[in-house]
């Protein structure tokens, strides 16, 4: 086969880029290692910034999101059981966030792709990138036992942190930065009404907890657990008990518990690969950077990479602007590092670090107290939480 853009990975980055390119009349084929059902079974992000929402709309897959997504004009925090609210709109010229799960975004994009006749090859095994430094790169993969070759102009690496695209760039060309945290998040999804009408980020001496949701009848909760914990060390009852200890007491009292639909542990990591473009390969989303989930930035950062890559490809195909290629990495990295910083800061502010002493805990408490009670502090949190603006290509 031959296409213009070979997209590796059918997560939110790959599907969103594919849909935007298809709409713009730029040929693309997506190669995904897993099945579609498997991709949909991974429960991940839940909070969309307005820039992400607009881009999903622009791709033509925003109808259900606009109907079912929950607009949140504020977010809540608690420290040792004391509950605080931050209004987002007064500090951000009226911006808000939309609570709509990554699973739903993915499902809507898959359906839109099917409707517009876009090609996604699921269960594409052993994907390999070739001749990426030349002007005739190609990708090989195995599908239903046969080896295929896909010739293309550019390769969009949307294949997540463990994907093949980043690994195809020569190791001595990769500029990487990493920080691993000594804990993970244990998440539980249940068909129970959310305990609060806004999300609540809870700092507590027993560890961080987050009360989130997917709909008025579906809740998503997380608790900080040591990175040595395995999912087998936990059960639903133990989870609910621990959650109740970390959230404000009046919330613990009204918390409705129920059977878990899903329970899993995600490790926390900050990672940036500053080499976001090399030869004909572009890296987007988790393939290029990972943030700890605390700031709800992972999926939103992926969307801002897609925004930049999509507008670049349109300029290349419509106006022959290959001179703009170096702008991709410049634009994406500036925004990436700011989101990486915010996610790291929220993580440090709200989690319990067992290596920290009494002094550190007091300093953390004072920092929280300062940010929550200062106008400037609340503005900083609100401005970052709703998402920094997408930068134009020129």
Catalytic residue annotation: 72, 201, 293, 297, 385
The stretch among 162-170, 274-282, 331-339, 349-357 that binds ligand FAD (CB under 6 A) is 162-170
In the complex, residue closest to ligand DHB by CB: 46
Residue 184 interacts with ligand DHB (CB under 6 A)? no
Identify whether the C-beta of residue 393 lies closer than 8 Å to the C-beta of residue 324. Answer: yes
- Is residue 273 part of the contact set for ligand FAD (CB under 6 A)? no
Q: Taking a C-beta distance cutoff of 8 angstroms, is the pair 33, 125 a contact?
A: yes
Burial (Cβ within 10 Å: 0-12, 13-18, ≥19) of residue 83: middle
Which one, of 100, 50, 16, lies nearest residue 390 by Cα?
50
In the complex, minimum distance from the CB of residue 27 to ligand FAD, in angstroms, rounded to a whole number: 19
Which region among 39-47, 74-82, 354-362, 377-385 touches ligand FAD (by CB under 6 A)? 39-47
C-beta closer to ligand DHB: residue 180 or 363: 180
Does the protein bind ligand DHB through residue 293 (CB under 6 A)?
A: yes
Compute the distance between CA of residue 214 and CA of residue 8 in angstroms, rounded to an integer. 28
Identify whether the C-beta of residue 1 lies closer than 8 Å to the C-beta of residue 98. Answer: no
Neighbouring residues of 214: CB distance < 8 A, sequence distance ≥ 6: 46, 99, 100, 101, 104, 189, 220
> Which of 30, 129, 296, 350 touches ligand DHB (CB under 6 A)?
296
Show the binding pattern over residues 119-158: x = contacts ligand FAD (CB under 6 A), - = does not: -----x--x------------------------------x
**Residue 212 to residue 372: CA distance in whole angstroms:** 20
Exactly one of 6, 31, 243, 332 binds ligand FAD (CB under 6 A); that residue is: 31
Q: How far is the CB of 294 from ligand FAD (least distance, A)?
A: 9
Residues 189-218 interacting with ligand DHB (rule: CB under 6 A): 199, 212
Beta bridge partners of residue 183, listed in sequence order: 226
Q: How far is the CB of 34 from ligand DHB (least distance, A)?
A: 20
Task: Pick the binder of ligand DHB from 11, 12, 18, 46 (CB under 6 A).
Answer: 46
Q: How far apart are CA 318 and CA 155, in angstroms?
A: 18
190 membership: H or E segment, kind and range:
strand 176-190
Q: How far is the CB of 354 from ligand DHB (least distance, A)?
A: 21
* Spatial separation of the C-alpha atoms in residues 298 and 289, rounded to whole Å: 8
> b/e for 340-374, b at 16 or more Cβ within 10 A?
bebbbbbbebbbbeeeeeeeeeeebeeebeebbee
Q: Which residues bind ligand DHB (CB under 6 A)?
A: 45-47, 199, 212, 220, 293-294, 296
Q: Which residues bind ligand FAD (CB under 6 A)?
A: 8-14, 31-34, 39, 44-45, 102, 124, 127, 158-160, 162-164, 266, 285-286, 293, 296-299, 302
């Amino acid at each position: 086969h031959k296409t213009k853009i070979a997209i590796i990975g059918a997560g939110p980055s790959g599907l969103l880029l594919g849909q935007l390119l298809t709409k713009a009349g730029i040929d693309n084929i997506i190669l995904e290692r897993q099945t579609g059902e498997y991709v949909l079974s991974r429960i991940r992000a839940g909070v969309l910034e307005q820039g992400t929402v607009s881009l999903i709309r622009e791709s033509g897959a925003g109808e259900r999101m606009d109907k079912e997504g929950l607009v949140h004009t504020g977010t809540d925090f608690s420290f040792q059981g004391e509950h605080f609210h931050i209004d987002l709109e007064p500090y951000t010229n009226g911006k808000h966030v939309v609570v709509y799960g990554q699973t739903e975004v993915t499902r809507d994009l898959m359906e839109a792709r099917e409707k517009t006749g876009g090609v996604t090859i699921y269960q594409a095994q052993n994907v390999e990138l070739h001749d990426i430094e030349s002007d005739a790169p190609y990708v090989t993969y195995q599908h239903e036992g046969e080896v295929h070759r896909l010739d293309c102009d550019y390769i969009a690496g949307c294949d997540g942190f463990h994907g093949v695209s980043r690994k195809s760039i020569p190791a001595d060309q990769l500029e990487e930065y990493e920080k691993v945290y000594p804990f993970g998040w244990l998440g539980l999804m249940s068909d129970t009404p959310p305990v609060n009408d806004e999300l609540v980020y809870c700092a507590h001496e027993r560890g961080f907890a987050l009360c989130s949701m997917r709909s008025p009848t579906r809740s998503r909760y997380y608790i900080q657990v040591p990175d040595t914990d395995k999912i087998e060390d936990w059960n639903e009852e133990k989870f609910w008990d621990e959650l109740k200890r970390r959230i404000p007491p009046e919330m613990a009292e009204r918390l409705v518990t129920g059977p878990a639909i899903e329970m899993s542990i995600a490790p926390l990591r900050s990672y940036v690969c500053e080499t976001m473009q090399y030869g004909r390969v572009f890296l987007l989303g988790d393939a290029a950077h990972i943030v700890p989930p605390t700031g709800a930035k992972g999926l939103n950062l992926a969307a801002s990479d897609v925004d930049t890559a999509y507008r670049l490809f349109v300029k290349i195909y419509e106006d022959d602007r290959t001179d703009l290629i170096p702008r991709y990495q410049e634009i994406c990295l500036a925004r990436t590092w700011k989101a990486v910083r915010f996610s790291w800061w929220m993580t440090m502010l709200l989690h319990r670090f067992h290596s920290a002493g009494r002094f550190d805990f007091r300093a953390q408490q004072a920092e929280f107290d300062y940010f929550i009670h200062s106008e400037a502090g609340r503005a900083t949190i609100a401005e970052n939480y709703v998402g920094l603006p997408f930068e134009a290509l020129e």
